[in-house]
Amino acid sequence: MAHDDHNHSEDLPREGVVFAPGGAPGQSAYMLTFGCQMNVLDSELAMATLAESGLGATDAPEQAEVILVNTCSVRDKAEQKAYSFLGRMKRLKRANPNVVIGVLGCMAQKEGELIFKRAPYVDIVAGTRHFTRIDEYVRRVREGRQRILALGRDDEVVSAKRYRLRDSRHSLQVAVMRGCDHHCTFCVVPNTRGIEQSKPFDEVVKECEILVGAGAREITLLGQNIDSYGKRLLPRRTLAELLHAVSKIPGLDRLRFITSHPADLKPELLEAFREIPNLMPYLHFPAQSGSDRILRAMRRGYSADDYLRLVDQARAACPEIGLAGDTIVGFPTETDTDFERTLELHRRVEYQNAFIFAYSHRAFTPAEKMNLADDIPEDVKSQRVNELIRQQREISARVLKRYEGRVLPVLVDSRVKAVGPSGGGTTFEGRSPQNNIVHFDSGRDLTGEIVSVKITRTTGQALYGQLA
Ligand code: SAM
Ligand code: F3S
Query: What is the average per-residue pLDDT within 451-468?
Result: 95
**Is the beta carbon of 259 within 6 A of some atom in ligand 1?**
yes
pLDDT at 6 over 50: no
- Tell me if 384 sits within 8 A of 339, measured CB to CB: yes
Q: Please provide the DSSP assignment of 396-411 as one string.
A: HHHHHHTTTT-EEEEE
**Is the beta carbon of 357 within 6 A of some atom in ligand 1?**
yes
Q: How far apart are the CA of 88 and the centre of ligand 2, in A?
A: 32
pLDDT one-digit tens code per residue, 171-227: 988 999 989 999 999 999 999 888 999 999 999 999 999 889 888 999 999 999 999
Question: 65: number of CA atoms within 13 Å, CB side?
Answer: 20
pLDDT value of position 161: 46
pLDDT at 16 over 90: no
Q: Where are the domains of the chain?
A: 2-150, 168-280, 282-401, 407-467
Strand 218-222's sheet: what is its strand order? 171-175, 218-222, 254-258
pLDDT value of position 13: 30
Tell me which residue has its CA closest to atom 1 in ligand 2.
187
Does 2-150 match 282-401 in CATH topology? Answer: no
Tell me which residue has its CA closest to atom 2 in ligand 2.
184
Annotation: CATH topology of 407-467: OB fold (Dihydrolipoamide Acetyltransferase, E2P) (2.40.50)
pLDDT one-digit tens code per residue, 403-436: 999 999 999 987 775 555 555 567 899 999 999 9
* Class of the domain covering 2-150: alpha beta
Q: Could you tell me which CATH number the domain at 282-401 has?
A: 3.30.750.200
Q: How far apart are the CA of 187 and the centre of ligand 1, in A?
A: 6
Q: How far apart are the CA of 180 and the centre of ligand 2, in A?
A: 6
The answer to whether the pTM exceeds 0.85 is yes
pLDDT one-digit tens code per residue, 41-63: 889 888 888 888 888 888 899 98
Cis peptide, bond prior to residue 20, ω within 30 of zero: yes
> Cα–Cα distance between 78 and 327 in angstroms, integer?
18
* Triad 57, 58, 63: Cα angle to 5°: 125
* Class of the domain covering 168-280: alpha beta
